[in-house]
Amino acid sequence: MKILILFGLMLLISGCATTSGPSEHDDFAQYLTSEGIAMAGTDWCSHCKDQKALFGDSFQYVDFKNCDNEQSWCVDHGVQGYPTWVFPDGQLYPGTRSIEELKSLSNYDG
Residue 85: its H or E element: strand 84-86
Question: Are the beta carbons of 103 and 93 closer than 8 angstroms?
Answer: no
Class of domain 23-105: alpha beta
- Name residue 84's beta-bridge partners: 40, 94
Predicted pLDDT at 21: 67
pLDDT tens profile 24-82: 999 999 999 999 999 999 999 999 999 999 999 999 999 999 999 999 999 999 999 99
Residue-level pLDDT at 110: 82
Task: Please state, in angstroms and rounded to a whole number, the distance separating the CA atoms of residues 106 and 110.
Answer: 11
Task: Give the distance, in angstroms, between the CA of residue 62 and the centroid of all CA atoms in the same chain.
Answer: 5
